[in-house]
Amino acid sequence: MSIFTKIITGEIPSYKVAENDDFIAFLDINPNAKGHTLVVPKKEENKIFDLSKEEYRSLMDFSYRVAKALEKTVLCKRIGMSVIGLEVPHVHVHLIPINAMADMQFQQKVKFTNEEFVSLAKSISGNFE
Ligand code: 5GP
């Protein structure tokens, strides 16, 4: 069972920003930038291109809605999107509010307190449509 499945089942806590029957979005615990969010299919699949085309399109539709909420919440030049999965073998889309290329490089990390994560997740969630 992946660590993200444990988040989905509630075994491990997360700062949730959006959820429906098929997907969940929560803040990355070690963010590149403020608002760095992961969008995850509840069905545990390792690689994104092993999803069916329909599942892939649904994941992109859900990610689009999360990105819109991020744009409304976090001041940034744009939302960057990346799919890697080398650390956690459970499909996830990184949505990252970016101001510079360095924000997409997974090297510079930013720290937030529990209270800051809670408040940010609540704000993004409030802008999710
Ligand atoms: P990737 O698999 O795409 O290389 O990276 C996995 C991402 O998941 C990383 O950005 C890492 O910070 C994040 N991550 C790993 N474990 C957890 C966790 O338990 N909770 C949350 N919210 N994010 C995690």
Q: Where do the structural domains in the chain lie, given as residue ranges?
A: 3-127
Q: Which of 32, 79, 81 is nearest to 59 (CA)?
A: 81
Q: What is the pLDDT of residues 32-75, one digit of tens each?
A: 999 999 999 999 999 999 999 999 999 999 999 999 999 999 99
Write down the pLDDT at residue 20.
98
How remote is the CA of residue 127 from the centroid of ligand 1, in Å?
23
Q: Round to whole Å and give the CA distance between 45 and 15.
A: 22
**Catalytic residue numbers, as ranges:** 92
Which residue owns the Cα nearest ligand 1 atom 3?
A: 85
Mean pLDDT of the chain: 98
Ligand 1 pocket residue status of 30, Cβ below 6 Å: yes
According to the model, what pLDDT value does residue 15 have? 98
Whether residue 44 contacts residue 5, with contact meaning beta carbons closer than 8 Å, is answered with yes
At 10 the pLDDT is 96
C-alpha torsion 122→125→126→127, nearest 10: 130
Cβ of 103 closer than 6 Å to ligand 1, yes or no, is: no
Q: According to the model, what pLDDT value does residue 67 have?
A: 98
The backbone torsions φ and ψ at residue 26, rounded to the nearest 5 degrees and listed phi first, read: -145, 160
Q: The whole model's pTM is what?
A: 0.98
**Residue owning tokens 């990105």:** 67
Distance set, CA 119 to CA 38, 82, 112 (Å): 17, 24, 11
Say how many CA atoms lie within 13 Å of 113 toward its Cβ.
Answer: 3
pLDDT at 91: 98
* Of 36, 87, 96, best ligand 1 pocket probe by most atoms within 8 Å of the beta carbon: 87
3-127 CATH: 3.30.428.10
Asked whether 107 lines ligand 1 (CB < 6 A), one says no
